[in-house]
Structure 1
Amino acid sequence: MLADRMNIFIFTKQDEDSLSKKEIVIEAMQHEGFKVVEQSEDANIIISIGNDGTFLQAVRKTNFRQDCLYAGIYSEGRQAMYCDFHYNNLHEMVLAIRKADIEVRRYPLIEASIDNQQTFYCLNEFSIRSNIIRTFVVDVIIDDKLFETFLGDGLIISTPTGSTAYNKSVRGAVVDPFLPCFQVTELASVNNNTYRTLGSPFILSGDRKLRLHVHQDGNDFPSVAMDNEAIGVRRVVDVEIGLSDKVIKTVKLKHNSFWEKVQRIYL
């Protein structure tokens, strides 16, 4: 039961204001009988304080734990996509857990492997972009068959929940997280007699495998990012991407679905 989960790890930024808020949250949690632990490995609930970016960092820095729940507290402004609870109403979160008045939301992850050496997980998106003021060329291969050869600034591969982030800002589709899939969206593609792409975002089933082959033409040091964190890789030739078997379990309030959040934030 969720009420049996009593060990809490709190993740936040290290600035003075965030650390001050963290101390208040710790005091509130301890007052309600929760144990606040120093190491994330000892927790069965991981709480982030801040915004969606902080939540993404909390998930990544705690290694995408499969055996615990994540909860997001937004400390200013309106509710975000990953943060259901407000810093000024911590009692709501405590009461929700105590009364089991919460639901567990399962968010899919995508898995990206770079040159068969490093594997990364993404809750929002994987992005690959030219690192210099020049376009680069990428073969887009679906299930081992060449689909298109892309010339442009870059590509974004997003999860359904990540579809509302960077992907949406470049006119990608917003995708229901109940659908096991991932989306490919172009950044400033160039279409001419030599290079031709679909020219619109497209959605792949979770059973599909995507491979991006970077042409080694002098612009083969692209910028690679997982969610909101750049990855320090020097040369990239092949990136294999697919929907992971792993999911992130998050705490949500009832009557606060993904689409209710989309409506509240964007409409």
Structure 2
Amino acid sequence: MKFAITSRGDQTSNALKMKMKNYLLDFNLIFDEKEPDIVISIGGDGTFLYAFHQYQHRLDKTAFVGVHTGHLGFYADWVPSEIEKLVIELARTPFSVVEYPILETIVRHIDGGKETLYLALNEATIRATEGSLVIDVEIKGQKFETFRGDGLCVSTPSGSTAYNKALGGAIIHPSIEAIQVTEMASINNRVFRTIGSPLILPAHHTLLLRPKKETDLLVTVDHKTILHNDVKSIQCRVADQKVRFARYRPFPFWNRVRDSFVGDERPKFLPDEINKR
């Protein structure tokens, strides 16, 4: 089996990366950063997002597993004290695959030039470069509303626990193939009115956003922000591709939610333990 490892870049994560790499090479696994069968992410959720985008061109061939050394490791199944156990699992046990839906976002321009397609593991957000965003919201080909406010967030089920949650959106189990639309500080008065609630769209419904007041928009895809000029429309839907997680043991979604947001906050490891093992 071929593997690659991404690290958050801090001393603790880099030490774990080198230790895991050496262990796996000792088990005759092949280190291959171009075409890995499995990618090990060591760090937090930001590191995992980086790994996802680095290998988004081969999602059907690459699975991911996370080791948590950050402040929030929602995508991580393992902690540093379990490194030896994970290495043995990787070397000797075929992994099961859990697939989660992701988001496809297509930006089209007024001049009819080349459209840009993005894949997101967590979410995409749309904002104006200055002032309020004014944009028509269409669902399945029908106008739903004209939104006025700071912006819109379109999230995946696994990303519903990220920025979407901070905006008051619902947490959705990732077995549900859907996207969620949440508002950022919408303007609601006697003149302007929006739904004011998150919208959950199934996989066969397409969201289309058409800017009215301004055509230069800031589009954020997970951790990347891109300025798009002369935007005609932005299309969002559940992508045909999925992200694949390598699982060696059960880790139910609701346990992740509980541990991340309402569980006792206890240190799961001491950094000094790494060099003692």
TM-score (norm 2): 0.86
Q: In terms of mean alpha carbon deviation, does 88-97 or 177-186 score higher?
A: 88-97
Deviation at 1:266, TM superposition (A): 1.1
- The structure 2 residue matched to 1:169, chosen from 166, 182, 207, is 166
Whole-Å separation in 1 of the counterparts to 2:248 and 2:162 = 21
How is 1:105-124 mapped onto 2 (pairs within 5 angstroms)?
105-115=98-108, 117-124=115-122
Contact in 2 for aligned 1:126/1:225 (Cα 8 Å): yes
Whole-Å separation in 1 of the counterparts to 2:144 and 2:70 = 44
1:197-241 CA distances to partner (integer Å, 9 max, x unpaired)?
A: 1101010111001101111x3x43222111111124233230011
- The structure 2 residue matched to 1:59, chosen from 52, 58, 67, is 52
Change beyond 3 A, Cα 1:101–1:110: same
Change beyond 3 A, Cα 1:136–1:77: closer
Whole-Å separation in 1 of the counterparts to 2:128 and 2:227 = 14
- Which residue of structure 2 lines up, in the alignment, with residue 181 of structure 1? 178
Whole-Å separation in 2 of the counterparts to 1:194 and 1:236 = 26
Deviation at 1:88, TM superposition (A): 3.1
TM-score (norm 1): 0.89
How is 1:1-267 mapped onto 2 (pairs within 5 angstroms)?
6-14=1-9, 18-37=13-32, 39-40=33-34, 42-65=35-58, 66-77=60-71, 80-98=73-91, 100=93, 102-115=95-108, 117-132=115-130, 134-215=131-212, 217=213, 219-267=214-262
Contact in 2 for aligned 1:74/1:83 (Cα 8 Å): yes
SS across alignment from 2:205: coil
Q: Partner amino acid for 1:119?
A: L
Indicate the percent of aligned positions where both proteins have the same amino acid.
31
SS across alignment from 2:56: coil
Uncovered stretches (5+) of structure 2, i.e. residues with no partner: 109-113, 263-277
- Which residue of structure 2 lines up, in the alignment, with residue 3 of structure 1? none
Whole-Å separation in 1 of the counterparts to 2:37 and 2:92 = 18
SS across alignment from 2:246: strand
Whole-Å separation in 2 of the counterparts to 1:33 and 1:99 = 11
Deviation at 1:17, TM superposition (A): 5.2
Q: Partner amino acid for 1:81?
A: F
Whole-Å separation in 1 of the counterparts to 2:57 and 2:197 = 31
SS across alignment from 2:66: strand
Contact in 2 for aligned 1:75/1:88 (Cα 8 Å): no
Whole-Å separation in 2 of the counterparts to 1:225 and 1:235 = 16
For these two proteins, the number of residue pairs brought into alignment is 256
SS across alignment from 1:188: strand
SS across alignment from 1:96: helix
Contact in 2 for aligned 1:44/1:67 (Cα 8 Å): yes
Q: Partner amino acid for 2:41?
A: S
Contact in 2 for aligned 1:81/1:258 (Cα 8 Å): no
